[in-house]
Amino acid sequence: MKSVTVLIIDRSEIFRAGICQKLASQKDFKLLDCDPAQDVFKIIESHYVGIVLVDIDSPISKGLELAQKIVRHYPNTGVIVLSPYFNDNELFEAIKIGAIAYADKGMGVEKLTSFIQRASRGEYVINNFLMTRPVVAERVLKQFQQMVSMGLVADNVAAPLTQREIQILSYIANGNSNKEVAHILNISDQTIKNHVSAILRKLNANDRAHAVAMAVQHHWISIDNNAKQPIEI
């Protein structure tokens, strides 16, 4: 795989050093550590960060807020939310803000490495958890349906979508990852990432779920109730 810059954001200097030590043997990773008090956005921009590991903070609060800002401002940067206590409520919140993965802070180096590698390829690792947690999956779908039925999507489209962008958004809405859409359309993962970035920009959407809700409301796409898994957020 190509080299990927990984930024580790955590209040604990010891934890950041530990993660760096864990991942030090991965020659394809360029590791950076950061205290949340630093200018995170400046670091992401100046170092072309591909993956960010963010401490969720306990209880759910500032860590998720920071993760959400990163997702909104840098749609091509994958955000992995780390938590000391893996639970369904945090998983749901991580999905809502558009995190690409949610992981236990005590996970082994092999699993963490796999998460980073898959996330850097555009996979939404977080979707895997929905297959084994139907309660969380149901909450995700209910919230999406409420967004559409209650009209909780702003009509602030900056530019119309192309037919290709509508096609890609439709595949995403029905549970396909970037990699799967790329395979279906026989184009590169990076091309899909570029299209998704363009879609979010044109729709002034906060994240993929917001973009899908807007597209459904405008009748550009429809959701297949028999899709293999819930909407990729």
Exposure class string for 165-182: b at 16+ Cβ within 10 A, else e: bebbbbbbbbbbbbebbb
Angle at 94 between CA 201 and CA 145, to 5 degrees: 70
Instruction: Return d(Cα 68, Cα 98) in angstroms, integer.
Output: 7
User: Looking at residues 183-206, what average pLDDT do you find?
Assistant: 84
Q: Could you read off the pLDDT of 59-101 as tens digits, one per residue?
A: 445 888 888 888 888 878 889 999 887 777 787 788 777 788 8
pTM of the model: 0.61
Domains of the chain: 4-131 (3.40.50.2300), 134-217 (1.10.10.10)
Model confidence over 153-182: pLDDT tens digits? Answer: 444 555 577 888 888 988 888 778 888 899
